[in-house]
Structure 1
Amino acid sequence: MSTATGLLSDISGVGADRQRGGYSRHGFDVVELELREWFIAEAGKRGLTVDNDRNGNLWAWWGAPGKDAVITGSHLDSVPGGGAFDGPLGVVSALAAVDVLQARGFQPRRPFAVTVFAEEEGGRFGVPCLGSRLMAGSIDPDAARRLTDLNGITLADAVDAAGFDPARLGPDPEALAGIGCFVELHVEQGKGLVDVDAPVGVASSILAHGRWRFRFTGEGNHAGATLIGDRTDPMLPAAQLVLAARAAARAVDGARATVGKLIPNPGGTNVIASAVDVWLDARAATDEVTRNVVAEITAAARDAAEAEGCEVAVTEESYGDTVIFDPALRDQLAAQLGGVPALPTGAGHDAGILAAKVPTAMLFVRNPTGISHAPAEHAEPADCEAGVTALAHVVEQLTR
């Protein structure tokens, strides 16, 4: 019988990023496709039957597919240089939970499947939870097909190269209608469980959050031959945006605003950039507060661009309102697990996307570092197995 840490060890060499540290595993790239093949093989060892849906999400069914199904799982992709646990822990824990139940001779009475959602992190095409968004109809499929990675490859081309039909990307009401509930296990992205000294908890809510792209344009020129007074340098308002994001978030209790990606064009050391693209991630407790923070940052960016003689264009690339997980399902899981704590999270998840359509819940596994989206992300083996035990118990109760 496999353990969660043992299964994680099996894929520890796939997508290791020697430059950044951690892992770089992105939707429909060769690394993620290798992980898909690994998952299909592991599901087959357990007698699960794997299907691909129209959006490239994987479904491993224990028995025949059907309505009112109990679904668990997560994703296998990562942010650039991400940790080993974010996403994969939910997938391997689901497989290990199946092992636990099969060892007991248990047979689910409700349809049950382990799922792997595509491009959850948005590390390649910029939009998080892409597989679940497409399925739920919360992103326009034509706009999704036009998304491009840093090499100019469109999602449509990447999906086609991976063996899927890009024309079929889009809402999947039949798949949604078949889900009775979705329970996603995830390593905690924070130290809430550390603070209450608990190995496992449930999620109560997700902060409102989104991603915005700011494109500052100026005049490219020679770094040595152009006097300071003659410059129209988009890097200056871009830098001021970074500072404005910190100031706006700091002024609002619980708000977060982050610039984690900035790309100058053409990017030469001795070149004044002609354009700079800056991506802002902003989150807060409510939609109103989040949008107010972004409006303040945007105003500062426009003022900074005008002062430098530059222009700025702002595009909202993705957004999710505050998610309150199904209270009845949350309380049911917490009670079944002996009254484990319920915690809010600032991180987005496929469960948060599906929450608008079907009852969803999340289990968190303690992260002693509190760090996520970085190589130092961690969960102790004993806590990982506590998560497997909790998930197996929940699946057993829900599928009786």
Structure 2
Amino acid sequence: MSALAGMLGEIAGVGADAARGGFSRAGYSHADRELREWFTAHAAVRGLDVERDANGTLWAWWNPTGSTEPAIITGSHLDSVPGGGGYDGPLGVASALVAVDLLRARSFAPPRPIGIAVFPEEEGSRFGVACLGSRLMSGAIDPSRALALTDREGDTFADIARRDGLEPDRIGPDPRRLDAVAAFVELHVEQGRGLVDLDRPVAIASSILGHGRWRVTIDGQGNHAGTTLMDDRRDPMVAAARMIVEIRDLARRTPDARATVGRIEPVPGGTNVIASQVRFWIDIRHPDDLITAALVSEARDLVLAAAREEGCRADVREESLSPTVDFDLGLRDALQASLGDVPELGTGAGHDAGVLASAVPTAMLFVRNPTGISHSPEELVEDTDAEHGAAALADVLQGLASAGAEAAFGHRPMMAR
């Protein structure tokens, strides 16, 4: 068994979900804390200096020369979607640790700091906003809005953060830390079949589709399932069903669009009760931000019309929105120089690297997923491909850390305010 496979094996029982299959590792949950302790222990064994910033991101630092040059950062996240796979996030974190081992085995002493970052609540499965940690650090979400977010139990992010040892009044943009980052490179399992079709183990990311999440709330009339005649009903569940089908059809009519409803919550949720309210969430993605906006506008019109026809009221609220990201071209060229002839692939999945692209030069490496399936227990990475990925990451970190202070990875973006 490889060192990387052994590390991932250590956490194979953390957050295992017997009901859904796979793993449920929500941000700031008990499972999430176990995973953070696992990372901190591995970083400490390697002599890395570990800290946790005001937004809950973990940082592990390797700087044998004591350089004050801007750092090269890698890393990913440890939380998961409900019933997710075992590689989405942890593969990038474990590969970063193994990359440090490989560089040390080469007797490489980085002339500038190398850091490993573990971002919290990347999936947004607890508070509804994806990449919450990187959004807070880069200023892509207002701290007051973030602190007011609630989970399914009604606890606010402010309350949960405080229980987890954070200080709510310190949460928010961190320009000083961002100024200390020269580049961020995230390794991630590929969430599609691009590398399978190319028969290659590793690729460089070219872009991320623009995407967002919108919450739909439909208010109807709760009533008895047996005593309420069909013509007397104002049933928000029926309205929701019509909306979901129409949203799917809207995406089918639009080339390159993706629209998904993966979460629905009826209130009160009884078998013999007509719901009084239904909430569901729409995920919409498209490479053209103008088309994404048009899709959202049309979806909103469809929702409101379907609600009216069922005698209900509906409200559509944006929870998060990320524009299409084209990764830094200069940094991609630097990765190609380190890795040679490797393919470039776009992705429809969001990542912390995509959010941070508004503030620092970012890039990504993808590792082949033979099933092509992600956000599912069927997600997979073969051990040999994982090793290829960690070695590629080590090559990239060595090349970037060795570049002089004047090296240009492309223009440095302004931090979102």
TM-score tier after normalising by the smaller chain length: over 0.9
Give, in whole Å, the separation in 2 of the partners of 1:28 and 1:181: 27
1:19 to 2:54 alignment:
no
Cα contact 1:222–1:272 (8 A) shared by 2:
yes
Cα contact 2:67–2:112 (8 A) shared by 1:
no
Which shifted more, 375-384 or 293-302? 293-302
Give, in whole Å, the separation in 1 of the partners of 2:327 and 2:146: 26
Q: What stretches of structure 1 of length at least 5 have no aligned partner?
A: none
Q: 1:268 aligns with which of 267, 270, 287?
A: 270
- 2:413 is matched with none
- 2:218 is matched with 216
Q: Cα–Cα, structure 1 residues 23 and 39, in superposed 2: closer, same or farther, change >3 Å?
A: same
Give, in whole Å, the separation in 1 of the partners of 2:201 and 2:72: 24
Q: Give the TM-score, by structure 1 length.
A: 0.98
Give, in whole Å, the separation in 2 of the partners of 1:324 and 1:371: 23
- 1:9 is matched with 9
- Number of aligned residue pairs: give it: 400
1:234 to 2:236 alignment:
yes
Q: Give the TM-score, by structure 2 length.
A: 0.94
How far is 1:229 from its partner?
0.6
How far is 1:253 from its partner?
1.2
Q: Cα–Cα, structure 1 residues 65 and 213, in superposed 2: closer, same or farther, change >3 Å?
A: farther
Q: Cα–Cα, structure 1 residues 139 and 65, in superposed 2: closer, same or farther, change >3 Å?
A: farther
Cα contact 1:334–1:341 (8 A) shared by 2:
no
How far is 1:3 from its partner?
2.2
Partner amino acid, structure 2, of 1:23: F
Partner amino acid, structure 2, of 1:138: A
Cα contact 1:208–1:284 (8 A) shared by 2:
yes
Partner amino acid, structure 2, of 1:213: R
Secondary structure of the residue aligned to 1:20 is coil
How far is 1:275 from its partner?
0.4
Cα contact 1:201–1:334 (8 A) shared by 2:
no
Alignment map for 1:1-400 (pairs within 5 Å): 3-63=3-63, 64=66, 66-400=68-402
Q: Cα–Cα, structure 1 residues 66 and 117, in superposed 2: closer, same or farther, change >3 Å?
A: farther
Cα contact 2:284–2:292 (8 A) shared by 1:
yes
Per-residue CA distance 1:104-126 (angstroms, 9 max, x = gap) = 22111011101100100001111
Partner amino acid, structure 2, of 1:395: L
Give, in whole Å, the separation in 2 of the partners of 1:102 and 1:81: 36
Secondary structure of the residue aligned to 2:342 is coil
Cα contact 2:216–2:281 (8 A) shared by 1:
yes
How far is 1:67 from its partner?
4.1
Partner amino acid, structure 2, of 1:248: L
Partner amino acid, structure 2, of 1:353: V
Give, in whole Å, the separation in 1 of the partners of 2:276 and 2:69: 55
Secondary structure of the residue aligned to 1:399 is helix
How far is 1:2 from its partner?
6.4
Partner amino acid, structure 1, of 2:114: F
**How well do the aligned residues superpose, as a CA RMSD in angstroms?**
1.1
Secondary structure of the residue aligned to 2:298 is helix
Secondary structure of the residue aligned to 1:51 is strand
